[in-house]
Amino acid sequence: MSEKNLDPSLDPSTGQFIDPMFAVMIAAAVAETILVWVKKSAIPDFFTLMVVMVGYVNLLLSWFGYHKSVLKKPILGSLRFIVTVILLPLYLLTVVLATKPFYCVALTYTAIFFLWSFWEYLKYREHSEGESFLSLQLRPFNKMVYISTVYVVMAEFIPASSIPILPERVFSLADPIGLTVIVCAIVVLRAQKSSKNSNAPISKIFGQIKILLFGGQSDV
């Protein structure tokens, strides 16, 4: 079906159609966090604040990244758009689940990173570029999230007394360590996406972070 007759503002291949949906997710996240805190005059603990902050930042970076990606490789099939729509409420969950046990948030990030790679696979298929689904799933940032989630879940459900050879801190610090690893995975992902060379050495990551934060010349 030809897309020339479509209103550009409603064409999912341009990335414009998804903008209102991102805006709704952001509004819902604000309503479930900041507005609730203001009404109750209660500020959550530091860890909860960090979980919420990471969720917001990831949501915004995903919005920017979606636009850059579809501008370079427009959506040609419906499946990639459907995956995008599925991802949106998951972004919201990473914020609103902040007061729940952290393993719930970690599992949500696992689903997000899995679907991101699936989205990438669909993109390559649409544009006839050979890329293995398994190789996309085994990228470093995906493995970081998957491993950290397993760690957090195990620390949540396995009593420390059942594994006496491990220090108690391995269990008690699982949540902050897991969040830190997830943050690092997001940074590595976005830095790699912003890099002109996806195989750029780690020394270039900091330069790409500066581009992400303050702008600059970079390929998508």
Q: What percent of the chain has pLDDT over 70?
A: 81
* pLDDT, tens digit (0-9, with 9 covering 90-100), for 71-120: 888 888 889 999 999 999 999 999 999 999 999 999 999 999 999 999 99
Q: What is the pLDDT of residues 33-74, one digit of tens each?
A: 999 998 888 889 999 999 999 999 999 999 888 888 888 888
Q: What is the pLDDT of residue 5?
A: 39
What distance in Å separates the CA atoms of residue 38 and residue 62, rounded to the nearest whole number? 27
Does pLDDT of 13 surpass 80?
no
Whether the Cβ atoms of residue 152 and residue 174 lie closer than 8 Å to each other: yes
Domain containing 165 equals 8-214
The single residue listed with the structure tokens 């909860």 is: 48
Is 60 exceeded by the pLDDT of residue 10?
A: no
The answer to whether residue 200 scores a pLDDT higher than 50 is no
Helix residue ranges, H only, 7-130: 19-32, 34-40, 46-72, 78-96, 102-126
Q: With respect to residue 21, please indicate whether it lies within any of the assigned structural domains.
A: yes
- Answer whether 74's CB lies under 8 Å from 106's CB: no
Quote the number of domains for the chain: 1
Q: Report yes or no on 2 lying in a domain.
A: no
68 found inside a domain: yes
Confidence of residue 12 (pLDDT cuts 50, 70, 90): low
Neighbours of 58 (CB within 10 A): 21
- In DSSP notation, 64-80 reads HHHHHHHHHS---SHHH
Find the angle CA(86)-CA(147)-CA(130) to the nearest 5 degrees. 60
- Tell me the torsion sign for CA atoms 113, 118, 121, 123: negative
In a domain, 1, yes or no: no
Question: Do the domain assignments include residue 3?
Answer: no
Distance CA(5)–CA(203), nearest Å, equals 47
* Structural domain contains residue 219: no
pLDDT of residue 40: 87
User: Which token pair is 95?
Assistant: 């914020």
User: Does residue 121 have a pLDDT over 90?
Assistant: yes
Distance CA 107, CA 138 (A): 17
